[in-house]
Amino acid sequence: MPLTFACFHLPAPNPGTAKTYWALFALMAASVRRVVPDAEIHLLTHAEADVPDGIPATHVFRRAANESIKESFAHLMRAETQTWRDYVSSDLLRGPTVLMDIDILLQRDPTAQFDGSFDIGLTYTTDATLHPFNAGVILIDPTRRAAVRTLFTSLDDYVADLVPEYQEWYGDQMALVDFVGTDDVSGWRGSVAHEAHGVRLRTLPADDWNATLALDADNKPVFAAMPDAGLVHFKGDRKGLMLRYATEILKIDARQDSSAPGGWIFT
């Protein structure tokens, strides 16, 4: 069964912003194709999402929703966990899967991480200024499908009970802390095995599988190669450096093409 990379994304109501994010999706997909050529790429989105022709996705999973896309943006993290919950119960979840944000570049093949010892893989950071678990990268081994559903049902139920502020942002990371049962990872090193609610978890250092560029004293991202990271996550303002990183560090070819989704072609 080929490795799958599954990415939740809601197109922004603003056409210009939407186009930019489709370009990021295409850039992410190009990095995946370079490292794991036979991988499947799944786009997880809203039933009414306007997905452009030619988007580099093997499958598009559309979650049926009672609210509009604009309304979904008001509680984006809830829309995310609802979509995840439905996706892991669908026929599209067939083998080892990396659930990840679209603002990520793949540098190393994560296939070897799927050794049968866990149901869910999470990344953690010991930086006390950040949430310990980032939902931008989640590894799923669906062999024990009930265990996988347990996690994603719990995440969605937790976010559903949050105040609107956290349903819009950070609620998914708060839900992960609640499920794992601790926010104190200060003593963790390397890969850590853990079990919660009957789900076998493996937690991996973010520096290995969910790395991100450092910030300077002015809270601005510092451009630098991260050769040891399997995945580089361009969170927040770091998105502005994603294309530069792809072209200068990964040597991905980028050319503008108005007919392509997002207006760019990456190879």
**Alpha helix segments (H runs only) across 47-196:** 69-73, 76-87, 145-160, 164-168, 171-180
Closest CA to 43 of 20, 23, 59, 22: 59
CATH of the domain at 36: 3.90.550.10
pLDDT at 1: 81
Span 216-267, pLDDT tens digits:
999 999 999 999 999 999 999 999 999 999 999 999 999 999 999 999 999 9
Span 204-218, pLDDT tens digits:
999 999 999 999 999
- Please enumerate in sequence order all residues whose Cβ is within 8 A of that of 216, keeping only pairs 6 or more positions apart, or say none: 222
In this prediction, residue 66 has a pLDDT band, given cuts at 50, 70 and 90, of confident
Q: Which domain holds residue 210?
A: 4-266
Percent of the chain with pLDDT over 70: 100
Span 143-185, pLDDT tens digits:
999 999 999 999 999 999 999 999 999 999 999 999 999 999 9
Query: How far is residue 122's CA from residue 104's CA, in Å, rounded to a whole number?
Result: 16
Fill in the amino acid letter for 180: V
Closest CA to 84 of 205, 206, 171, 211: 171
Fill in the amino acid letter for 248: E
pLDDT at 102: 98
- How many domains does the chain divide into? 1
- In angstroms and rounded to an integer, the radius of gyration of the C-alpha atoms of the chain is 18
Span 9-24, pLDDT tens digits:
999 989 999 999 999 9
Indicate if the pLDDT at residue 84 is higher than 90. Answer: yes
- Please enumerate in sequence order all residues whose Cβ is within 8 A of that of 163, keeping only pairs 6 or more positions apart, or say none: none
Per-residue DSSP letters for 165-224? HHHHTTHHHHHHHHHHT-S--TT--S-EEEEETTEEEEEEEHHHHSB---B-TTSPBPP-
Indicate if the pLDDT at residue 65 is higher than 90. Answer: no
Query: How far is residue 235's CA from residue 89's CA, in Å, rounded to a whole number?
Result: 28
User: What rounded mean pLDDT belongs to the chain?
Assistant: 96
Indicate if the pLDDT at residue 124 is higher than 90. Answer: yes
Indicate if the pLDDT at residue 190 is higher than 90. Answer: yes
Average pLDDT over residues 30-59: 97
Query: How far is residue 79's CA from residue 45's CA, in Å, rounded to a whole number?
Result: 9
